[in-house]
Amino acid sequence: MNDPQGQPLTVMIVTPLGEGGKGGIDRIMDGVRRDLEARPRTDMSARFVVTRGQGSILMAPALTLQTIARLFGARMTARRPVAHINLSSHGSTIRKLFVAAAARAAGVPYVIHLHGSRFRQYWDGLPTWLSNQVKIMFENAAAVAVLGGVWRDYVEAKAPRSHVVILPNATPAAPQAVVGESDRTRILFLGRVGERKGVPELLDALAILKDDPRWSAVIAGDGDVAGFEAKSEALGLDAAVRFTGWVGPQQVDELLKSSDVLVLPSHDENLPMSVIEAMSHGLAVVTTPVGAVEDIIKDGETGLLVPVGDADRLAQALRSLVESPDRIKALGHAARAFHAENLEIKPYVDRLVAIWKSAAVRAKA
């Protein structure tokens, strides 16, 4: 996309935790950072700032004020500043309301990038005065990037004057997972261990399959690990199910390489990174039709969809894969092909840069 203004952009990318943060927002922004470093551009530069930080929550107000100060500084020193504001619910929204208001006061166009899985419930439950402030933030953004059609429809209904664009999450291409080298189907869960991610139903489903020796499972993530490990043992799953606790990016990659199936029976999502990463690795995905998941998982084609909270249906889906390695390969192949065409990080970053440029142009209109 040509830049009619002729001057390079300076983009301030506002993230919650910063580089290496555990959340999906920071993981996708780390991918953006790496791609921008690997493919330097003459038409823009990026600065990354945080509003929450990885330390005590007590530091968040100071970090948010620091971000606001840097935003005003960018307005003074950069010829074409743009702010990219990553947004989730609760404290993230409160902090970003201040950042967006400061951007408007400084005359800096901004893009809202909506990630939060429970943002619908959060916004719908706000008191009227605060809900109106969120609406103002959205409608005054040069663009609102959402992760799928369901979120586009929601934002347009809540803030009709918003300029909404769909930008699904993305990850780098990954080596094809090695399927069939184990005598068991290797099932992997990646995410926070708790009720929202469907871990209770997952353990109940695995308990239904516990007499079948052809599978093993790894549950990787932080959260109530001890509590669900105790439940797993009570269900008689301790020989087949292993809990790892939180794992970093390198360990995630190793787990994906050594697995056949990714299972994520969530109750709420926006567009989960673990599903996208699994598709990149060519795993068969079993998940629930929540958030924008149905934009990338077509039931029976690029993965399997099961109803939220239904352990029996989840067990049926997993059994169908345990009983058919060929089906695992077919679903994984289709998922990997879909990822290559739609969810690669390089075209994602190119689209993101185009959104920033368009935001700068629209702000001048």
Residues 283 and 308 in one domain: yes
Spatial neighbors of 98 by CB under 8 A, at least 6 apart, are: 64, 68
Alpha carbon 202 to its chain's center: 21
Element (H, E) at 248: none
Residue 177 is assigned to a structural domain of this protein: no
The per-residue pLDDT for range 163-198, each reduced to its tens digit, is 999 999 999 988 765 554 568 999 999 999 999 999
Which structural domain, as residue segments, surrounds residue 81?
Answer: 9-170+344-364
Mean pLDDT of the chain: 93
User: What is the rounded CA–CA span in Å between residue 294 and residue 287?
Assistant: 10
pLDDT of residue 178: 54
Could you tell me the CATH number of the domain that includes residue 79? Answer: 3.40.50.2000
Residues 40 and 160 in one domain: yes
Residue 310 is assigned to a structural domain of this protein: yes
Residue 175 is assigned to a structural domain of this protein: no
Residue 180 is assigned to a structural domain of this protein: no
The per-residue pLDDT for range 289-318, each reduced to its tens digit, is 999 999 999 999 999 999 999 999 999 999
pLDDT of residue 249: 86
Residues 352 and 292 in one domain: no
Residue 5 has pLDDT above 90, yes or no: no
Structure tokens at 215: 């599978």
pLDDT of residue 147: 96
User: What is the rounded CA–CA span in Å between residue 76 and residue 71?
Assistant: 9
Residue 117 has pLDDT above 80, yes or no: yes
The per-residue pLDDT for range 45-103, each reduced to its tens digit, is 999 999 998 989 999 999 999 999 999 998 888 778 999 999 999 999 999 999 999 99
pLDDT of residue 74: 86
Residue 4 is assigned to a structural domain of this protein: no
Residue 109 has pLDDT above 60, yes or no: yes
Q: What is the domain count for the chain?
A: 2
Residue 202 is assigned to a structural domain of this protein: yes
Residues 161 and 213 in one domain: no
User: What is the rounded CA–CA span in Å between residue 332 and residue 330?
Assistant: 5
Residues 145 and 112 in one domain: yes
Residues 290 and 222 in one domain: yes
pLDDT category, 23, cuts 50, 70, 90? confident
User: What is the rounded CA–CA span in Å between residue 123 and residue 155?
Assistant: 10
User: What is the rounded CA–CA span in Å between residue 272 and residue 262?
Assistant: 12
Rounded to 5°, angle at Cα 154 from 149 and 159: 125
Residues 86 and 160 in one domain: yes
pLDDT of residue 1: 38
Spatial neighbors of 191 by CB under 8 A, at least 6 apart, are: 197, 221, 264, 266, 272, 274
How far does the chain reach from its first CA to its final CA, in angstroms? 17
Cβ–Cβ contacts within 10 Å for residue 155, how many? Answer: 22
Residues 22 and 142 in one domain: yes
User: Considering only CA atoms, which of 99, 105, 76 is closest in space to residue 86?
Assistant: 99
Residue 143 is assigned to a structural domain of this protein: yes
Element (H, E) at 260: none
Average pLDDT over residues 255-265: 97
Residues 142 and 197 in one domain: no
Identity (one letter) of the amino acid at 277?
Answer: E
pLDDT of residue 176: 63
Residues 295 and 352 in one domain: no
Residue 247 is assigned to a structural domain of this protein: yes
Residues 73 and 194 in one domain: no
Structure tokens at 161: 């004057």
pLDDT category, 32, cuts 50, 70, 90? very high
Residues 192 and 322 in one domain: yes
